[in-house]
Amino acid sequence: MMVKFLHRISQKYASKWLVLLFDVSIILVTFFLAYLIRFNFKFDFDIYMLLEQLPYVALVSVISLLSVGSYKGVVRFTGFKDIVNLIIGTNILATLLICVTFISRKFSADDSIFNISGSIIYIHLLLNILFLIGAKLFIKSLYNYITQDFTTISNVLIFGAGNSGMLTYDAIKNDTKNGLEVVGFIDDDERKIGKKINLVKVYHISAIDEAFIKKHNVEDVIISIQNIDPARLLQITGSLFTLGLKVKIVPPVQSWIDGDLSVGQIKEVKIEDLLGREPINIKNPDLEDQYDNKVILITGAAGSIGSEISRKISLYNYKKLILVDNAESALYDIQQEFRQQGLTNIDVIVADVRNKTRIDHIFNQYKPKVVFHAAAYKHVPLMENNPFEAVSVNIGGTKNVADISVKHSVDKFVLISTDKAVNPTNVMGATKRIAELYVTCLKGKGNTKFITTRFGNVLGSNGSVIPLFKKQIEQGGPLTVTHKDITRYFMTIPEACQLVLEAAAMGNGGEIFVFDMGKPIKIFNLAKNMIILSGLRYPEDIEIKITGLRPGEKIYEELLAHGENTKKTYHEKIMIAKSRHIDIETVENQINKLTVIKTLTQPLEIVSFIKALIPEYISNNSTYEVLDSKK
């Protein structure tokens, strides 16, 4: 009953004048104690003189506290700055008393109420600091105690005993409803090991074992190190995951709300945090000028990349945003998303890039100035079995949109390509490489600047390995990996789309932009990390099954083709691939022949056409390898 009463009281905030009265009362009590201490706890002093001095001390204390504004603070949230403010206020009080005492001794009688012993003033100062701060911290602790939810206490460790770790500790302690109790810090610095911070011990990571976890009933570890090396993060999380611990991470300080960290901002480690490289950040103020008051058209706008480009473009001051896709349901979803945000200058159009007349009509109606061409078939095994469709969309569709862009004098055309177009081993990659070649052939024809962006796998995109693994984990496994040594470059969807926007800004036409994506990641290791991130164990809970390479699949991906090298741009993570010289007239004629192939043409015949155009295309684990043996 008492706890409930206190809990109701705790929901209210005390008046600032009540806080001032409380502080002045403490100052008057400490003034009496200062007399007692000065006279060895004997009443060998003039009691009546003390009583006459109390109103004077109260007046001076009010002036001192008003001058620093300490009474305005919320006592339950007392922090370091509030404590410093109180110390300043008590020092002002002591200074005023000393000054008045000095003047009183010079111009008044010795028995004046303004004449206070210097030793009493200094004892009073020390007692004020002790009692005022102690009272505030006691009330804060009492508030935290009565508002704490004792039914959901979780013991946590904080990895990082530096400044960021201290701020995380304070955020947890100040938020009494989070149900977290910090039982220790973890740090690599040997000088800190064994010491205590806020009465909480610092441990080395080697001390965190199953026995420690069981003894302290630890459930989570919060990594609170700013600018942590991703490789180190991967190492730390790996060792903690194997102990069955959940791992959370504190966001970068620049994303803290108003410069303050709240417990709600501490999130569980995501798979993109474990890429083993620094996130790629691009800040280019020129982007606003690129898209200001422009009509922008995006093909494949309902896909993972196209929809994210749409979201990023919607943040600029565009004139009109045209979203084109033939996936009706997905296009409807992105339309509803924008409508909920109140965006009205966005038109969604169901159309197929293979229909040249339809695309030409759209361009004629809207007159776009920037085109992002993301429409493509991208699934390697499906395209290996359906080469006609790959040619029809990836080559024919690109040709249609590119030709129409020239016809309507589009300023910039940005082709979304893939690292699978580099030294391709499958139909999908080869058709994307031909699409790259075609837009290269159009350089200088008309006013349109053609730009290509080439990047690796995108985390979380439709059909990528991450959603597949998540679904397999939900079904209880096993996770399927085609080869134990298979590796891939990865980036997040926002990173990939930011590259596309940046390429459109910096491109002058004819460039193929590639990313420095760091080191490739083993898919097998990625699968293990995802199992552990899900709170399960490998192989006890979920196994990983090796299924064998799929038709056309590589073990290793590349970002540059044979005969290509790179030159730098103004951003260290973005490079331009310097492509080998091609005979534009010959290549263009071959592509034109390829795009008019009939539906009934046999797959082997279609692929032989592709291989003639792309000599570096060597099939791997595919029925089309027979064509390579004839070369």
Q: Which residues of 140-150 are buried (b: 16+ CB within 10 A; e: fewer)?
A: beebeebeeee
| DSSP, residue by residue, 546-572 | E--PPTT--SS--SS-TT-EEEE-SST
Q: Is 319 a catalytic residue?
A: no
Neighbours of 580 (CB within 10 A): 11
Whether the Cβ atoms of residue 91 and residue 158 lie closer than 8 Å to each other: no
Whether the Cβ atoms of residue 49 and residue 110 lie closer than 8 Å to each other: no
| DSSP, residue by residue, 115-168 | ---HHHHHHHHHHHHHHHHHHHHHHHHHHHHHH--GGG-EEEEEE--SHHHHHH
Triad 201, 206, 211: Cα angle to 5°: 80
CA distance 180 to 153: 6
- Rg of the chain (C-alpha set): 35
CA distance 487 to 371: 32
CA distance 377 to 145: 59
Whether the Cβ atoms of residue 65 and residue 89 lie closer than 8 Å to each other: yes
| DSSP, residue by residue, 303-366 | SHHHHHHHHHHTTS--SEEEEEES-HHHHHHHHHHHHHTT--SEEEEE--TT-HHHHHHHHHHH
CA distances to 364, 438, 449, 450, 508 from 444, in Å: 22, 13, 8, 9, 11
Phi then psi for residue 202, to 5 deg, are -100, 130
Whether the Cβ atoms of residue 245 and residue 221 lie closer than 8 Å to each other: yes
Triad 24, 27, 33: Cα angle to 5°: 150
- In the set 420, 432, 449, 573, the catalytic residue is 420
Distance of CA 122 to the CA centre of its chain: 52
Task: Tell how strand 574-578 and strand 565-568 pair up.
Answer: antiparallel
CA distance 116 to 590: 104
Task: Tell how strand 200-203 and strand 218-223 pair up.
Answer: unpaired
Token couple for 403: 């030709």
CA distance 330 to 352: 14
Question: Residue 338's closest CA among 353, 348, 325?
Answer: 348
Token couple for 471: 């679904």
Maximum distance among all Cα pairs of the chain, rounded to whole angstroms: 120
Three-class DSSP labels, 366-401: HCCCEEEECCCCCCHHHHHHCHHHHHHHHHHHHHHH
Token couple for 270: 């995501």
Question: Residue 318's closest CA among 349, 343, 300?
Answer: 343
CA distance 35 to 51: 12
Q: Which residues form the catalytic set?
A: 420
